[in-house]
Amino acid sequence: MNRFLQQIVTGTVLSLLVSCANISTPSGGKRDTTPPRLLKAAPADSLKNSRTTRITLEFDEYVNLSDASKEIEVSPLLPVPPTITSVNKHVTVKIPDTLLQPNTTYRVSLGKAVRDLHEGNIFPNYVYTFSTGNYFDSAMLGGSITNAQTGEKDTVSVIAVLYDATDNDSAIVRKKPLYRVRPDSRGLYTFKGLPVKPFRLYAIKDDNGNMTYDGGNELIAFCDNVITPADTVAMPIELRLFKEKADSSSSNPETTVKPKAGKGKARMNDEADTVIRYTINADTTNIAKRTFDINDSVQFVYNKAVTIAPHMAKLTYDSAGTTLPVTMSIHYGADKKNIAITARWKKNTLYTLSVDSTFATDTAGSKSSAARYRFRTFNDDDYGKIAVQVPAAYVPDSRANAPHYLLVILADGKPAGQLTVKDSVVSMPQLKPATYTFRIIVDQNRNGVWDTGDLMAHKQPERVIPGTANVVLKAKWEHNVDFEAKPNSDKNKKK
């Protein structure tokens, strides 16, 4: 081989070696968005006269389970949950034979539990059905679930449940239901595959997921009557969730065990808790509190229950350089930690509130610090006006036992007051800039407040009708709006 040819060969070899050393990432294809496909169910779906205790589902790719204990459910509910496993391309559901009842249609819902192994694509909602009798139950019932106090849909942690008609209302606090469904994003629920027999219907805001009503902060709703499913949901049933009033007898101070003081930080915290501390909503030293709404009250929020000495507080206002006293009223909150001071506030006026160290004391005789707060009330130009046109259906009439109607005002989603509807127009001339929405309370007992329900007394909460208006109000603006009820929320207006 001559020298020239040898150089060509050597260069070619080196070029090949360099290209082989530069390893690049192979280009990938499109992301797999196809969910697993069911190839076979054994035994076959929709069998009658079958006590199916083991269901095996075969898919076209490797799958795994996500939150199976929550997502996979057998209906009617079993005393013991089924055993669910996943191996390669198979999912197996095991049900003890002793738990199956005769002449009953069972539905095994997978929910969102089954997903492919690599991309997590969800196998669409699948329901496997079998019957231990010679027919399939196919009756239905459904409706909507709302929060009774707001009239709005409620879906978080909420379930609708069915009990046998022979059970009374106490069953929902003692045992799990026969059937359970969750409402969809619109607050609508539907039971399917039910037998044509009477049931008791409830809804629970089931915070701890135990499918029973535990009181406390959980919400409850019930249907007034025993209900029998039909072939279609011809008459949707509205369930209105409410929180029951706390039973004062359950909090006996004599039975309360006080924790012993610990060491180190724990002991320091105990000592700190002997000091009376509070916050106040009016104070010129705080830029967010130096102006004050004349519709509001001066509010003290304490860290513990206190006793107030009203004569140890003094309220004055400045009038052309002269300090004048103001008559005020002091109101306790139920827990004696919240104190509100009200007065006939004047617009665009500088007020001074002085409190002595003995204004608030606790049971041990501890005192709060003496302090002085100054604040100026809003002027006319700081407010806007809204007039709400109320439909004739909510204007009071002279019928015996006819309800009154209360217009609830919400500013940026928070309650900002309420007015009794006395005429077709409700005017609000002094509103702070905010986004306003409105509700109407059907004040059935005319006591001027919304009343919650009582499960054991079988008392429904008073109805609340949310409006569709969403009004952005700025200072010096005026709005005239029509109150329009949201769909399906005005069932109790007068005819």
- pLDDT tens-digit readout, 298-312: 999 999 999 999 999
- The amino acid occupying position 60 is D
- pLDDT at residue 403 in the model: 87
Dihedral of the alpha carbons of 53, 57, 63, 68, in degrees to the nearest 10: -30
Tell me how far apart the alpha carbons of residues 154 and 176 are, in angstroms, rounded to a whole number: 21
The matching CATH number, chosen from 2.60.40.1120, 3.60.20.10, 2.102.10.10, 1.10.274.10, for 139-241 is: 2.60.40.1120
pTM for the model: 0.77
Q: For residue range 240-273, what is the model confidence (pLDDT) as tens digits?
A: 999 998 764 444 433 333 334 444 444 334 445 6
Dihedral of the alpha carbons of 106, 108, 111, 112, in degrees to the nearest 10: 180
Q: Look at residue 487 and give its three-state secondary structure.
A: coil
Domain 383-482 CATH assignment equals 1.10.357: no
Q: What are phi and psi of 173, to 5 degrees?
A: -100, -10
- Max CA pair span of the chain: 122
Higher pLDDT, 247 or 354: 354
Mean pLDDT in residue range 364-385: 91
Read off the pLDDT band of 12 (50, 70, 90).
Answer: low
Tell me how far apart the alpha carbons of residues 161 and 219 are, in angstroms, rounded to a whole number: 13
Q: Look at residue 343 and give its three-state secondary structure.
A: coil
CB 233 within 8 A of CB 201: no
Higher pLDDT, 438 or 9: 438
pLDDT of 288 > 90? The answer is no
CB 368 within 8 A of CB 278: yes
CA angle 405/295/333 to nearest 5° reads 80
| Beta sheet of 219-222, edge-to-edge order | 179-181, 158-164, 199-205, 219-222
Domain spans, the chain:
38-131, 139-241, 270-381, 383-482
- pLDDT at residue 396 in the model: 80
Q: How far is CA 251 from CA 223, 436, 452, 457, in A?
A: 30, 38, 20, 21
Mean pLDDT, the chain, whole residue set? 86
Topology adopted by domain 270-381: Immunoglobulin-like (2.60.40)
The fraction of the chain above a pLDDT of 90, given in percent, is 68
Domain 38-131 CATH assignment equals 2.60.40.1220: yes
Are 38-131 and 270-381 the same fold in CATH? yes
Tell me how far apart the alpha carbons of residues 475 and 10 are, in angstroms, rounded to a whole number: 86
- pLDDT at residue 286 in the model: 73
First to last CA, the chain: 111
CB burial string 321-358: b at 16+ within 10 A, e below: eeeeebebebeeeeeeeebbbebebeeebebbbebbee
